[in-house]
Amino acid sequence: MDDPARGRLLISSGGLFDPNFRHTVVLLGEHDAKGSVGVVLTRPLEVTVHEAVPALAELVEPDALLYQGGPVEQDQPVLLAEVDDPEVLDLRVFGAVGFLTGAVPATVRTRLCRVRVFAGYAGWGPGQLEREMAEDAWIVAEPTVDDIFTDEPDALWHRILERKGPPWSTMARIPFDPSTN
Domain boundaries, the chain: 9-173
9-173 folds as: VC0467-like (3.40.1740)
pTM score, whole prediction: 0.92
Please, which pLDDT band fits residue 167 given cuts at 50, 70 and 90?
confident
Helix ranges (H only) for the chain are: 49-52, 106-109, 128-134, 145-148, 153-164, 168-171
pLDDT in tens, 1-59: 578 999 999 999 977 778 889 899 999 999 999 999 999 999 999 999 999 999 999 99
Burial 41-79 (b: 16+ CB within 10 A, else e): bbbeeeebbbeebeebbebbeeebbbbbbbeeeeeebbb
